[in-house]
Structure 1
């Protein structure tokens, strides 16, 4: 583990940019960017276009380590290059931004009010490649839709079981048990979730380091006690479907919680914008998310 990167993520001022929409969400991300499905005829062309979009964001002068601590990539982006350097090396060496990798394979069907992660049979190979490509940490997402104690327990147990496997490879896992922001019993789900996370944290090896990526809680500062746990490097928040303005407003009310937004980061960026327009808009977005993150 790179101790300089660890220190940056643990104490740095700023937020984590999530550039990791993949698979099924890629056409949606491209469409939002103004690239329609008629612009590509196969997966390879689609991924080339999405890499162009990500490269444009990463190379923008607005994408600056004064505001951005880390960036979450997905596998295809990790394997590609920017200006002849692998993406993770470009991020860290040229930009001073810590690279993370999304490792999950999507969500299983809804059961017990939750969606667990699909099986990841090739996880070890992926983690080995991540280590070779100088990735610092990983991210994996589950989804909680109802305050079902058995379901929430399963979500957290699965996350921490795989999290331990990731820690053993020398990487820092971002554990992401998202609570659906539209859930009728979001508050009750968050209480169950916090209790399960606390139980799992107390059972971790002394030196294990993890991060948490959580929905912005309904009760402000609800996760502040988890932030004090010595295993927890940082707690980041997902935008979860809120608009950028709403996500920032809610985030600002939670002291110590920093953003890890994807949709809210790239909300109004389009392929047709001039570099000047694109960079100005991205700069304002980054500034706003940063301000909300340092409160």
Structure 2
């Protein structure tokens, strides 16, 4: 990232003419000496590409497939359908996803785990090539996960800045064009000022490093669903978090036109007795974004955060019932994959049916991005919530 110094000289002088005791006195008032004012001007080598990447992902009617589960988390998903957590089984499942015919009609980007970025299908094609052939940009999860934040109220911080510059350069060379870094904020645990500041600063440093190496960063501070709090408390915390995030993004000279956001929707806590309608979620969420997010940012790609497949889609649809400054879309993991896993069951003969299930969910969210989704005809299973208290990724 380069900065160019520019000098602005302010030169002026005025002559004042006055009278004192009937005598004309000429007074010369000199202006201050020329001042040097430095302006930071971004001149990054990747800026045009970063903007193009972000806007390509923010294509009308499209969103992101988040398939970047760590090997441990992917193992939990596989175990839920009776499969062992082996590289071969992870490869089979991820191959199912990236080779789904016509997926690019609804999905513009796919976030991969490092293993998947370097993995090939059983017929020898790289996963990256499969996505590109489908018109889907490959992305990469670059954080190293959550660890306890010392001095906080039992909160976490996200590690992974060490070595990030060299890793992102290698990921770009491998074909990735955007990145993701997820950190979390817990409402029941405070959140403490320390945790909010750490989350915002880490995201800003990550975003700056990614842009310096050609990757458009997804900025993701997730406000966890855990808790009994109401929707107003979520709005209060989310507004505070996003305010600090954008302050530090600006401090780190991050190019707003070359990033994407992955926020939580503003909802009540998962254990709150007062539930919110999609219209209320849309109103609260959009109000928060309008107060905190510059319109220069191309896309808002919401996470599902344990909502049911249908709930996440209904809430997204409600947000697209009126104009707003951004491409408001989705970056879903479980809300796109839950039905897929249950249909596949690890059986080769079920691959085609599982891919059709993925297309059903992808198309539903594509329609929601356009504000044209209806839950009519949705299966009851798709309406079941996926929230897990204290869930770890």
Range class of TM-score, shorter chain:
0.7 to 0.9
State the match for 2:261 in structure 1.
Answer: 212
Equivalent residues of 2:260, 2:298 under 8 A apart: yes
Q: Tell me which of the two structures has the higher relative contact order, counting C-alpha pairs closer than 8 angstroms and 6 or more residues apart.
A: 1
Tell me the CA shift for residue 227 of structure 1: 5.3
State the match for 1:43 in structure 2.
Answer: none
State the match for 2:91 in structure 1.
Answer: 51
Provide structure 2 residue ranges, at least 5 long, that are not aligned to the other structure: 1-45, 268-283, 321-326, 372-393
State the match for 1:108 in structure 2.
Answer: 147
1:22 corresponds to 2:98: no
Task: Please state which structure has a larger fraction of its residues in helix.
Answer: 1
Tell me the CA shift for residue 24 of structure 1: 2.4
**How far apart, in 2, do the equivalents of 1:193 and 1:285 lie?**
30
Q: How does 1:1-295 map to 2 (within 5 A)?
A: 1=46, 2=49, 5-32=53-80, 34-37=81-84, 46-62=86-102, 64-82=103-121, 83-92=123-132, 94-109=133-148, 111-112=152-153, 114-146=155-187, 147-183=191-227, 184=229, 185-205=233-253, 207=255, 209-218=258-267, 219-221=284-286, 222-224=288-290, 228-230=294-296, 232-255=297-320, 256-269=327-340, 270=344, 271-272=346-347, 274-295=350-371
Provide structure 1 residue ranges, at least 5 long, that are not aligned to the other structure: 41-45
TM-score (ref. length: structure 2): 0.67
**How far apart, in 1, do the equivalents of 2:335 and 2:54 lie?**
25
Equivalent residues of 1:113, 1:144 under 8 A apart: no
* Residues 12-37 of structure 1, C-alpha deviations (whole Å, 9 max, x = no match): 431100011113212112123x2433
**How far apart, in 2, do the equivalents of 1:233 and 1:114 lie?**
31
Going from structure 1 to structure 2, the CA distance change for 1:11 and 1:50 (only over 3 Å counts) comes to same
Going from structure 1 to structure 2, the CA distance change for 1:156 and 1:68 (only over 3 Å counts) comes to same
Tell me the CA shift for residue 228 of structure 1: 4.1
RMSD of the alignment, in Å?
2.2
Across the two proteins, how many residue pairs are aligned to each other? 284
TM-score (ref. length: structure 1): 0.87
**How far apart, in 2, do the equivalents of 1:206 and 1:284 lie?**
36
